[in-house]
Amino acid sequence: MSTIISRKVTMPSVGIISGTIPLHEEEIFRYMKKTVVKTEFGNALIFVSEMAAFIPRHGVDADRSIPPHMINHPANLKALQDMGVKEVIGINSTGSLKRELKPGTIIIPDDYISTSVTPTIFHDNAIHTIPIIDEGIRKRLIQTSENLGINALKNGVYWQTAGPRLETKAEIRMISQFADIIGMTMASEAIIAAELELSYSGICSVDNYANGIVEKPLVPDEIRKGARKNARNMMEIVKKYVSEFSGSGKGKTG
């Protein structure tokens, strides 16, 4: 049964948000406790262990998955912060905007673009935060992947669309001039993290080509199949990262 916990609980320094990898099922996190955290922005479902705090951004019910445009990013990030998390890693499934970025590629992006409306925790005042992807986390993710012998691209621009629909071919032709991969969640998480002064970085798996990049039609079932295929390498990077940096203070970026 889920538990409502207070904000006073201190947790490991690393939080993870993922939509494609069931982190709570992995052996290293086998003692994760399913927990509901109340915040002023709503409730957030979190799995907690001594190693990390994990949020499944689309929920855990396959028949009632939370679509991208309905995810409560403020609640998710605030819940992690209230539990003592200092840095957050977003695991993201993306589409490739370049023919040379083949499905199966892992990218640790260094920037993002989002021209659609994104969430904010500020509604009464015009607080202008500077969007950022934390360079310290990025470097540690890159080093972790290298130590594991997993090839991950060290740079890339992520373009976020609103979802849940996929993009038209004309939209992809335009977007591909400015970005490398496309998704529906990472920019929103990075923005809320910045507003809360949490350190955030994403790690992205390329699971399909975006609509029109190649001649083969885009099929949703193949996107899901590609995400499952990439999940193992993504999982290994995250497990190694957490085992080295969670709770040790090494992962803190100040």
How far apart CA 110 and CA 108 sit, in angstroms, is: 7
Closest to 107 measured CA to CA, from 56, 177, 158: 158
Q: Which amino acid is at 7?
A: R
pLDDT score recorded for residue 249 = 40
pLDDT score recorded for residue 227 = 67
Per the CATH hierarchy, to which homologous superfamily does domain 4-245 belong?
A: Nucleoside phosphorylase domain (3.40.50.1580)
How far apart CA 12 and CA 251 sit, in angstroms, is: 10
Residue carrying the six token digits 């499934």: 93
Residue carrying the six token digits 């403020």: 74
Strands 199-209 and 42-48: unpaired
Low-confidence ranges of the chain (pLDDT < 70): 1-12, 21-22, 24, 28, 218, 223-227, 247-254
